[in-house]
Amino acid sequence: MKKLLLLSVALVASLSVMAAECVIVPRPVSFEPQKGKVTLNSKSVVYVADKSLVRPATLFCSYVAAEKGLQLSVVEKQPKGKGVIALSIDKSLAQEEYLLDVTKQGIVIKGGSEQGVFYGLQSLRQVVFHSKGNAKKVAVACMTVKDKPHFGYRGGMLDVCRHFFSVDEVKKFIDILALHKMNRFHWHLTEDQGWRIEIKKYPELTKVGSVRKETLVGLQTKKNNNYDGKPYGGFYTQDEVRDIVRYATERYIEVIPEIDMPGHMVAALASYPHLGCTGGPYEVRTRWGISRDILCAGRESTFEFVEGVLAEVLELFPSKYIHIGGDEAPKHRWKACPECQKRIQEEGLKDEHELQSYFTHRVEKFLAKHGRHLIGWDEILDGGISKTATIMAWRGAHRGIKAAQLGNQVIMTPRHYCYLDYCQTSDHDANNEPICAAGNGKRFQMPIRKVYSFDPYDQLNEEQRKAIVGVQGNMWTEYVATFDHIQHMVLPRLAALAEVGWTYGEKNYDEFARRVHLLRKLYDKCGYKYAPYFFNGIE
């Protein structure tokens, strides 16, 4: 017992931060502790040398006020005295790069852009939070941090179709991404089980397509036919979408909408049955999985619809990338459809895979005409793709490797490392995990250690590595109906993904784990409902 007590005292001591320790997640490229400390108090100010920095500075002050109780203010006139946090842009740095220098005189953050400064402030936010002190006075240990991300694309995806999440919840998801220095929010907006974005030209999409009559209860198996009997729906108005895009932009996160096609379109087919090969009738899906009903690729009216939807999507989302899905599109209907077969003949295509490729190319051309860039799931590789499409590799890293070998750009999100709906421990039942994703009755296991071990460059030579633009965590929501449960699935595993995306190089799991134990305190302060397993030593 005494031994146990001593052990826990030692643990607590190691958690209350020593000057020499780096507390920042994801780990910075370079961290050097320095002698001494600087004191921040309610008279301390954040000085912005550039007006564009008022916004990130104000956000930083709101974090410190909420998390430490310390009230700081933003000034645009150079102040005198000690304890100033001075922010500036230094164009000699890369866009997302920053330097954070804590000296006895004050704190200096230089970033290559507003975004770089924001990341410096996110690091300082963690440092201040873990520093000794309170609302009146915080003593920040001196340090020099030089930092920049390894990958330019660091994403988090949220599926709001299988289950719907409110505007405030989506913003909270964005806050979580920002804390971890992630810069892309992939918003999965359309599905078989619900269409979630208002399209003015096609009002039935939300009138009919946003509501399913009921939802499967429990894990999906062939035998499970237990439904809740309750209609389920929800969608975002265009004003709400704009609000979320603005919110994310203020946190230097680009929102990438996904309109999944030609598969996963049953909610659209239920709204406009002429879009399908058979003409229906269709109903918004109440089970998970894959539907044989997809958009007809033979009729011109399908492309008119797709372009009509995308035209409004492009108005709402200024992102460079537009995600058009492309996953899990079974070819049964196309095989039996005279219109689709006619298209195959007329275009000289080999088969239905090439027909999907034809479909994707047409959509890509439309996006390119509007200055946008297409992302698709790795299935779009199957019938041949253009060099300019970016591949999101999900069925396995080997799909990304294949795309990289073809010369396409790749975002790595292989499911056994990056799917945040997968279980977090090796014994789901014994550890009382809530329901999590399974295949053929077997639950997928993805403890944080596994996420951390992911190497996006594995098996790629120097040249091919250049094709990997980044990594992403995917939060699918078939089995996740509440935002508390989202947080349980995402945290702390997102910290590992963030570090995979930010800090390429030698790995040290124990050192990472030490910082995540600290980060937990910040999660607590923010009220985040993270999963307990890692913190309780359960894998």
Interaction site with ligand ACM (CB under 6 A):
327-328, 377, 394
Please give the structure tokens belonging to residue 476.
């699918």
* Bridge pairing between strands 468-475 and 153-159: parallel
Smallest distance from ligand ACM to CB 471, Å: 15
296 binds, among ligand ACM, Zn ion, none (CB under 5 to 8 A by kind): Zn ion
Q: Between 114 and 327, whose beta carbon lies closer to ligand ACM?
A: 327
Smallest distance from ligand ACM to CB 264, Å: 8
Q: Interface with Zn ion includes 340 (CB under 5 A)?
A: yes
Please give the structure tokens belonging to residue 334.
């196309």
CA distances to 185, 291, 481 from 171, rounded to whole Å, are 11, 31, 17
Q: Which class for 267: exposed (0-12), middle (13-18), buried (19 or more C-beta within 10 A)?
A: buried
Please give the structure tokens belonging to residue 383.
């019938």
Distance CA 399, CA 410 (A): 9
Smallest distance from ligand ACM to CB 323, Å: 10
451 binds, among Zn ion, ligand ACM, none (CB under 5 to 8 A by kind): none
Q: Interface with Zn ion includes 339 (CB under 5 A)?
A: yes
277 binds, among ligand ACM, Zn ion, none (CB under 5 to 8 A by kind): Zn ion
Q: Interface with Zn ion includes 265 (CB under 5 A)?
A: no
Asked whether the CA dihedral 77, 80, 81, 82 is positive or negative, the reply is positive
491 binds, among ligand ACM, Zn ion, none (CB under 5 to 8 A by kind): none
Helix, strand, coil content of the chain in percent (nearest 5): 40, 20, 40
The single-letter code of the amino acid at 271 is S
Smallest distance from Zn ion to CB 481, Å: 34
Please give the structure tokens belonging to residue 230.
């309750």
Candidates 22, 140, 266, 296; binder of Zn ion (CB under 5 A) is 296
Q: Interface with Zn ion includes 261 (CB under 5 A)?
A: no
Smallest distance from ligand ACM to CB 255, Å: 18
Distance of CA 186 to the CA centre of its chain: 6
Distance CA 327, CA 318 (A): 24
Piece in contact with Zn ion (CB under 5 A), picked from 238-246, 296-304, 360-368, 401-409: 296-304
337 binds, among Zn ion, ligand ACM, none (CB under 5 to 8 A by kind): Zn ion
The number of beta carbons lying within 10 Å of the beta carbon of residue 291 is 19
Smallest distance from ligand ACM to CB 392, Å: 7
394 binds, among ligand ACM, Zn ion, none (CB under 5 to 8 A by kind): ligand ACM
Distance CA 470, CA 404 (A): 12
Smallest CA-to-CA distance from 323 within 245, 411, 383, 407 is with: 411
Smallest distance from Zn ion to CB 281, Å: 16
Which residues, listed in sequence order, are joined to residue 236 by a DSSP beta bridge?
197
Q: Between 93 and 158, whose beta carbon lies closer to ligand ACM?
A: 158
Piece in contact with Zn ion (CB under 5 A), picked from 22-30, 246-254, 338-346, 469-477: 338-346
Smallest distance from ligand ACM to CB 469, Å: 18
Q: Between 202 and 394, whose beta carbon lies closer to ligand ACM?
A: 394
CB of 374 closer than 8 Å to CB of 367:
yes
Smallest distance from ligand ACM to CB 290, Å: 8
The number of beta carbons lying within 10 Å of the beta carbon of residue 461 is 10
Q: Between 260 and 499, whose beta carbon lies closer to ligand ACM?
A: 260
203 CB contacts (<8 Å, ≥6 apart)?
none
Q: Between 122 and 390, whose beta carbon lies closer to ligand ACM?
A: 390
Q: Between 374 and 518, whose beta carbon lies closer to ligand ACM?
A: 374
Q: Which class for 395: exposed (0-12), middle (13-18), buried (19 or more C-beta within 10 A)?
A: middle
328 binds, among Zn ion, ligand ACM, none (CB under 5 to 8 A by kind): ligand ACM
Q: Between 28 and 376, whose beta carbon lies closer to ligand ACM?
A: 376
Q: Which helix or strand (DSSP H or E) is residue 417 part of?
A: helix 415-418
Give contact residues for Zn ion (rule: CB under 5 A).
277, 296, 298, 337, 339-340
